[in-house]
Structure 1
Amino acid sequence: MRRIRVSLQTKILGLVLLMSFFIIGTLASYFMIMESRQIEAQDGRLALEIAKTVATMPTLIDAFQSKNPAETIQPLAEKIRMQTGAEFIVVGNREGIRYSHPLKNRIGKKMVGGDNERAILKGESYISKANGSLGPSLRGKTPIRDRNGKIIGVVSVGFMLRDIHEQMDNRAKEAGGVALLSFLAAVLGSALLARDIRKDTMGLEPYEIAALYKEKRAILHAVKEGIIAVDRAGFVTTMNQPAKNLLHIGGSVRRMKVDELVPASFFYEVMESKRPKLDREMVWKGRTLIVNSTPILDEHGEVQGAVASFRDRSEIERMVNTLSEVRKYSEDLRAQSHEYANKLHVISGLLQLGAYEDAVEFIRAESASLQNQHARVFQNIKDSKVQAVLLGKLGRASEKKIHFDIDPNSSLQSLPKYIDLSRLIVIIGNLLDNAFEAAAKAQNPTVLFFATDLGSDIVFEISDNGTGIEQTMLGRIFERGFTTKTGEAARGFGLSNVDHAVSELGGFIEVHSNPGEGSVFTVYLPKGEE
């Protein structure tokens, strides 16, 4: 069954309106109940106070001693009733006979309601509800005492319950109006809140945000590059595991200042300039990293933070060097194939001319040379990677008419796994190419290769009989971009790459050279990975 998704705006609007309706309704109901009780209590207290005031008036008390008390009491009671707004003020004697009433024809008749006993018999003042001659009313009753304190009558002051209820209804309407306005304000506020939240979430629903968060985590851990994101204050918000590995950082770094972890000037530069900084180098704990950083901007163009990616330059260089050396290796094989094709053409020409003995001698000589070279390669050098490099260089040397020889004293078993083919191509390939170029200028160009692993190190030695290197230049030959050649572009990287590859393997290079005496490059690599 497909799940029906409700939008975030609808959820917020519905929740806020429901809570507002409940809270406003509850408060309005409570207010109306309390207001009703307060109105009733207030009118009751007012009725009782008026009754007490009337009961203590000397004129009223003295009128009880006259032959016609009503003649004095009725005008006085009506005057007070009109001034106080009471519905009725009834004064009666101990027998409940009225001396005053809003309706004159009821004067002299017995009081109705049956609630005079407490005042006449017990002398109490109280508030009561009763159905009198004018209808249901709220009454305040108090006894009338003569100058000697004897109870001689009762005063009843009342307000009609229908008037009180009408007053309650008016207050309820006012409360309902205020509640309705409050609810409308809640509707408007919740709509604005929902719209603002939707704007903050860029129109995305919660399930879409959750999906993006999961995708972000998966991407961060899937990419090989290290990634760090910071907020505008420089606190780390995101760092993936490759970044921790590259920067040698352990544990949680969330909400830590990026300055405490790495040199962070580039973060603040991109946040200040609002422009990305690409392919910048940063040296950190012995590693050269390529850093790309870019600011994080909101929809108004304000900086919210920055994000940077890190790559190990050595890995990039290794990949580039591998591609370059593989290309060279391919060229070496092409040269070898070209050389064999030339020799086949020579044999074909001799056969066509009928010089069979010369053809046989040529084949014998070439076969002996190849057997001698290949025997040294395959008998003395057991590592297939080194064999592949040397076979390619043998063809290249043959094409360039350079005598390339493998020292018969060489002895090399399979290399350790940590010495991979890419680094091996960089080291041996570049040194042999340089040796070929140097020897090509000599009258009898010769390059000698020697390898051994008999000691504690693996040793590769390449010597040539070229022009040699000036002593003043020996200290700079491994600098990146330095070259003794002129008039050629993109030179001066071969020996630098060799030095870098050897350093990565934990080894070192020795160079011996004198002008006119050739050069000897010796590479020492440890047998165990460092």
Structure 2
Amino acid sequence: MRLSLRRFPLKTRMVLILGLIALLQTGALGLFALHYLTTSLEEEIGERALHVAKTIASIPQVIDAVTERDISRLQPLSLTLAERTEARFVVIGDRDGLRLAHPVAKRLGRSMAEDDDDELTPTLAYGLAQVTRAEGSLGLSMRARAPIYDNSGEQIVGLVSVGYLLDRVDTYISRYRLTMTLVILAALAFSILTAVWFAGHFKKAIFGLEPEEIGRLFQERNATLQSIREGIIAINTRGEITTLNEAARSILELPSDADLLGQPVTEVLPDSRMPEVLSSDQPQFDQEVRLGEQALIVNRVPLHHSGQVVGVVSSFRRKDELHQLGQKLSRIQQYADSLRSQAHEYSNKLHTIAGLIQIGANDEALALIGQETRDHQALIHLLVEAVPDPVLAGCLLGKYNRARELGLVLEIDPDSQMSDLPEWIPREQLVSILGNLLDNAFEATLNQGGHGKAVRMSMTDLGDDLIFEIEDRGPGIPDDQHQLIFNKGVTSKQAEGHGLGLHLVHSLLQQLNGTITIEPGTPDGSRFTVYIPKQPHSTNLHGAADE
């Protein structure tokens, strides 16, 4: 049945099921009512028969006639009594159970046991009045028997049997059966109409989807929630958690085996601001919160249904993951700039060499080629010897070419050494720090009209710190600006999009427990010195804090 019903749409299934249930219910109630009515009618008729039998047994004429066994008096009297009481029959018997009065005259004098077998004994022997349902000589009837006592009331001299045929009961039942059938059909029709209305309303509430589609969407929803890396929590209007994915458990360090659905969010996360969004109906985007040793970026959005707030959904992610993503993009941008610089630089050199060859200046062309080769070979030799790490070496080589493209010179101190670079320091963070400082030095030097000037850099891994020095030929930085320039958005440039590089440098150094100082350059400009400890510190930027 279940398999066959799946072939039908939900609306048809609901109509069939509700209609069948209504039919079974009304049918069962109808059968019960008919049975109860039949039983009640038969009991009522039996009580009436018993009352009539006892009344006839107490009539003095009947007592005298039975005592004298006077059939001629009892026969017409029984017929009269049956007519007056509307009984089907009144049968009177003597002490031995022989008929003294009977509606059929030819049965007179014969034993009443033909109809009642040994059921006469309780009445004749013990004086018990009884009501029975039996098939007698006159048909199926409800009959009552009562003993007849003599005038002294001590000795049983006979019995009276009064019966009412049950054909009238069948007539009553047939009449009620028709009524019950009409009621059942009316209830079935009403149930079907109600089922049609309810099914339509239900389908509208579930957006016209079938149960199988809802089940599939529910599975897809759960799979989607569990597959994304962002933590997701949803609450209802009572502030109870209705959705919690595995990423949320991991980020919030909640027990993986605890059933938190249905729990108040304020008990699971006491400092959560989701109830605030629930009451204010105002979304919150890109909120930075602290949870223990973690920094999170949180979004909270209210859910609406029919214009009412029905819940809140919160999504969140570790801030360091976003930083890592930004740093990777920055690193890719730096590689792209390096390649572009190299391509542009070599294109210019090749054009110059080609021009010299065309005008016959072969010696000058060879000298230019030699000079280019010596410069790059010297830089590559220095990087190979002093900077074994390929990521850092590649960054410096790219910045060298970038400086030449801008008309500057990046001078790296030949005594530099950076071979003891700890594994725990993320290379993308180190590259981002040096890359932003060098780009800032290039811009400062160019803004000062420093075409052809050199930006100097030195580095050393001696001692407990990694030390990097970058000196530009810019206008310098006033003493009162040394701390302000690391704030987000602070810049001396008019164009938009600046004021982020030094802020990022400062943030990354905080994560590495490093420091940066600013000093006047020689003879002008500024010198930035970066100190990064080789040993990781026990705490970092993500110190313990409340959410």
Structure 1-normalised TM-score?
0.81
- In 1, Cα distance between equivalents of 2:309 and 2:535: 50
Aligned to 1:85: 86
1:446 paired to 2:450: no
* Cα distance, 1:432 vs structure 2: 0.7
**Partner of 1:382: helix, strand, or coil?**
coil
Aligned to 1:53: 55
The answer (yes or no) to whether the contact 1:143–1:153 under 8 Å persists in 2 is yes
* Cα distance, 1:245 vs structure 2: 3.6
The answer (yes or no) to whether the contact 1:247–1:262 under 8 Å persists in 2 is no
Aligned to 2:298: 291
**Partner of 1:233: helix, strand, or coil?**
coil
- In 1, Cα distance between equivalents of 2:19 and 2:324: 63
Structure 2 unaligned spans of 5+: 538-547
Greater relative contact order structure (CA < 8 Å, 6+ sep): 2
Aligned to 1:227: 232
- In 1, Cα distance between equivalents of 2:438 and 2:330: 15
Per mean C-alpha deviation after superposition, the further-off stretch among 440-449 and 426-435 is 440-449
Aligned length: 520
* Cα distance, 1:37 vs structure 2: 4.0
Structure 1 unaligned spans of 5+: none
Aligned to 1:469: 477
Counterpart code for 1:240? N
Q: CA RMSD in A?
A: 4.0
- In 2, Cα distance between equivalents of 1:340 and 1:98: 141
- In 1, Cα distance between equivalents of 2:107 and 2:437: 140
- In 2, Cα distance between equivalents of 1:214 and 1:355: 76
Per mean C-alpha deviation after superposition, the further-off stretch among 398-407 and 211-220 is 398-407
Counterpart code for 2:248? A
1:131 paired to 2:136: yes
Aligned to 2:41: 39
* Cα distance, 1:481 vs structure 2: 0.5
- In 2, Cα distance between equivalents of 1:396 and 1:219: 44
> Aligned residues: percent identity?
32
The answer (yes or no) to whether the contact 1:267–1:293 under 8 Å persists in 2 is no
The answer (yes or no) to whether the contact 2:75–2:102 under 8 Å persists in 1 is no
**Partner of 1:432: helix, strand, or coil?**
helix
Counterpart code for 2:484? R
Query: Structure 1 residues 59, 276: CA separation in 2 closer, same or farther (over 3 Å shift)?
Result: same
CA deviation map 1:484-510 (0-9, x unaligned): x14222211001111223333x23122
1:489 paired to 2:493: no
Aligned to 1:141: 145
The answer (yes or no) to whether the contact 1:229–1:307 under 8 Å persists in 2 is yes
The answer (yes or no) to whether the contact 2:129–2:144 under 8 Å persists in 1 is yes
Query: Structure 1 residues 471, 144: CA separation in 2 closer, same or farther (over 3 Å shift)?
Result: same
The answer (yes or no) to whether the contact 1:383–1:414 under 8 Å persists in 2 is no
Q: For 1:46-445, what aligned pairs fall within 5 Å after superposition?
A: 46-61=48-63, 74=76, 81-91=82-92, 106=105, 109-110=108-109, 113-114=112-113, 118=121, 123-128=127-132, 129=134, 131-132=136-137, 134-148=138-152, 149-173=154-178, 176=181, 187=192, 194-195=199-200, 197-251=202-256, 252=258, 253-259=260-266, 260-261=268-269, 263-265=271-273, 268-269=276-277, 272-273=280-281, 277-285=284-292, 287-298=294-305, 300-324=306-330, 326-344=332-350, 346-347=352-353, 362-413=368-419, 415=421, 419-440=425-446, 441=448, 445=453
- In 1, Cα distance between equivalents of 2:151 and 2:320: 118
Per mean C-alpha deviation after superposition, the further-off stretch among 431-440 and 469-478 is 431-440
Counterpart code for 1:158? G
CA deviation map 1:28-66 (0-9, x unaligned): 445544543443343233212211112112354356689
Query: Structure 1 residues 479, 81: CA separation in 2 closer, same or farther (over 3 Å shift)?
Result: same
Aligned to 1:459: 467
Counterpart code for 2:529? T
The answer (yes or no) to whether the contact 2:277–2:302 under 8 Å persists in 1 is no
Query: Structure 1 residues 84, 302: CA separation in 2 closer, same or farther (over 3 Å shift)?
Result: farther
**Partner of 1:510: helix, strand, or coil?**
strand
Query: Structure 1 residues 200, 70: CA separation in 2 closer, same or farther (over 3 Å shift)?
Result: farther
